[in-house]
Structure 1
Amino acid sequence: MAISNGHGGDALAPVTYLPGVAPQNRGVVFAESSRADDTFDGGSTPNDEEFVDRASLIDSASVSLTRSLGRRGLSVAEARAKLRSSGLTGDEIDGVIDDFERRQWLDDAMLAEQLVHSATTRQDMGTKAVKQLLQKRLVAREVIEAVIAELPDDDAQRAMEFATSKARSLVRYDDDTAIRRLMGQLARRGFGGGVAGHAARTALAEARKSAAAGGVRFR
């Protein structure tokens, strides 16, 4: 209902509320935000802290791997296993491995070459034993195949050299016992089958001949 306001215009009539009915507050209220994380306080976020923790873990694992490499060479697979035991993820491991390969701290081909040289020149290992050694050290399969293919076919010669070096200590035994023991030693170094048998019999015969020529008497 409109009433005159005395100035030639109409004004709204005052509102009268029924008993027991309170007027509704129509003021604007600004509520505080309940999202505390929307306020920048200059501190680090959980994501930042997690990033720092992972970076620290990667650095620690890398240092540990470097120390291991200082003691002896490792294959890539051996290095991966060590990093995995340090708690790194697959992507983190890949990153460390890539870095070490770029620095040539990890190189399966170079490691295989060193292992083969030691096995054939110092330990008198045959081809079979060399291959087993490389497999035990988790060298990449393609590297093993390439290295074995390049080995000279001199198992017979190396078996004979090894058998000759051991036969002299076996001349006190009968032939069957001496040959059995000598072939067992040859087999443990990867010489098997006909190669080991021929080397054992030939080396033992030469050892007996040398012993007889030297005046050694057997009982």
Structure 2
Amino acid sequence: MPWRTSLRTKGVDRDVADAALEVVTDDSERAAARRLVTARLRSIERLPPDKQAQRLAGLLARKGYGAGVAYEIVREVLGERAAELADEAAPIE
């Protein structure tokens, strides 16, 4: 697990790192990634979607998220945002 290794290289005691990582679940990790992506998306909305995806995935990679999780979260958030924009642009009947 990259988080455990990262904590150890930063000098965190093994027992402390293990205790901290027990609290982190896949759901909480994904929620944190989603918050990061959503917050950053506001500042890059004017970029083309492919550039947005690259930058957001890079952000998550720099924060230590695996490529699979990063791209999955980015696709979800960008898909939701595209749907929101389509709804906003739809004519009101």
TM superposition score normalised by structure 2: 0.69
Q: Residue in 1 aligned with 2:67?
A: 193
| Aligned mates of 1:194, 1:173 — CA distance in 2 | 23
Contact conserved, 1:130 with 1:190, CA < 8 A, in 2?
A: no
For residue 180 of structure 1, the aligned residue among 37, 54, 57 is: 54
Q: Residue in 2 aligned with 1:157?
A: 31
| Residues paired across the two proteins, number | 88
Letter in 1 for 2:32: R
- Structure having greater relative contact order (Cα 8 Å, sep ≥ 6): 2
Structure 1: 5+ residue stretches without partners: 1-126
TM superposition score normalised by structure 1: 0.34
- Please give the residue correspondences for 1:20-59 in structure 2 after superposition, counting only pairs within 5 Å: none
Contact conserved, 2:4 with 2:17, CA < 8 A, in 1?
A: no
Structure (1 or 2) with the larger CA radius of gyration: 1
Letter in 2 for 1:147: A
Structure 2: 5+ residue stretches without partners: none
For residues 174 and 130 of structure 1, do their structure 2 counterparts lie closer, same or farther at Cα, with a shift above 3 Å needed?
Answer: farther
Residue 86 of structure 2 is aligned to residue 203 of structure 1: no
Percent identity, aligned pairs only?
Answer: 31
For residues 207 and 166 of structure 1, do their structure 2 counterparts lie closer, same or farther at Cα, with a shift above 3 Å needed?
Answer: farther
Deviation at 1:130?
7.3
- Backbone CA RMSD of aligned residues: 2.7
| Aligned mates of 2:23, 2:78 — CA distance in 1 | 31
Letter in 1 for 2:80: E
